Homo-oligomer: A and B are copies of this chain.
């Protein structure tokens, strides 16, 4: 099979042996696979795939059709449209995925949407709801509202009855992010717009002190992105006064059973919203698998709003 390949920090599209589904696994003919920030880090050698995942094929999400099943796999039939997060190996013509972390694709979604949603929507839903426990009527601040996880979090927060504010650095994106349901503000001076109940941190440590300032009592700061920096001073005295909770998380290294839990939460809470059209997957561009190098370059340039997705076959 053909697959995006990272070897010695060089990206190319190469032939690989076809994978074989093991116990409980589906062999998926991949039709679309989104790019994510983690792929860029992995390309630079900064984010190796966890043990058990393909080490040289990037890709944290995919959508496609089940074309074979390993022993005991019974959740899906051959031909079913499925999607899911994977620990690696998603950007390939074929992938084996445990059936417990696959989800059915709603009928109204096309392949690029299905292949570009699992990582960002699972990350956003897990962070904002499962972990930070956002509730109807609460105020959510999303740092980095124009990014993939940011646009997902804004839509999910709004759909759940929260009031959503988002920081967006690029003024060109303000109106489009606002249309997703957020009050959009510039990052500078965000701390004056609180108090917020939940703050989703997708930018990094430089925001930490302002986040604590802008947080309400019993507020939660959910840290899942730190591209702007990892280390910052924390004032525990102020944190105690606010009964603040600083939650930190990453999805990729979690074991199968925890990823399966996130897939069930997606099926319960997010797929119905996608199926009804209440929320959608912004797509910036699609590239055929063979043009993966160009897709990575486009991703690296930044400034996009929406997912960049590789498409395979058809």
- Chain A interface SS verdict (over half): mixed
Interface pair A243/B233, CB less than 8 Å apart = no
Report B-chain residues with C-beta under 8 Å of the C-beta of A243. 248-250, 254
Interface pair A248/B231, CB less than 8 Å apart = no
Q: Tell whether A232 pairs with B230 under 8 Å between CB atoms, given A240-B248, A244-B248, A245-B248.
A: no
Please report the C-alpha to C-alpha distance between residue A204 and residue B236 in the assembled complex, in whole angstroms.
8
Q: Which single residue of chain B is at the shortest CB-CB distance from A230?
A: B237
Sample of 6 A–B contacts (CB below 8 Å): A223-B239, A226-B240, A231-B235, A231-B237, A233-B234, A243-B249
A250 to chain B, nearest CB (A): 5
**Does A208 sit at the interface, judged by CB under 8 A?**
yes
Report B-chain residues with C-beta under 8 Å of the C-beta of A226. 236-237, 240
**Does A180 sit at the interface, judged by CB under 8 A?**
no
Interface pair A234/B235, CB less than 8 Å apart = no
Chain A interface (Cβ within 8 Å of chain B)?
204-205, 208, 223-224, 226, 230-250, 253-254
Please report the C-alpha to C-alpha distance between residue A280 and residue B234 in the assembled complex, in whole angstroms.
36
Please report the C-alpha to C-alpha distance between residue A250 and residue B218 in the assembled complex, in whole angstroms.
11
Please report the C-alpha to C-alpha distance between residue A234 and residue B223 in the assembled complex, in whole angstroms.
12
Interface pair A245/B244, CB less than 8 Å apart = no
Interface pair A231/B231, CB less than 8 Å apart = no
Give the most central of A226, A238, A247: most B CB within 10 Å. A247
Interface pair A250/B241, CB less than 8 Å apart = yes
Q: Tell whether A232 pairs with B234 under 8 Å between CB atoms, given A223-B239, A243-B250, A248-B240.
A: yes
A241 to chain B, nearest CB (A): 7
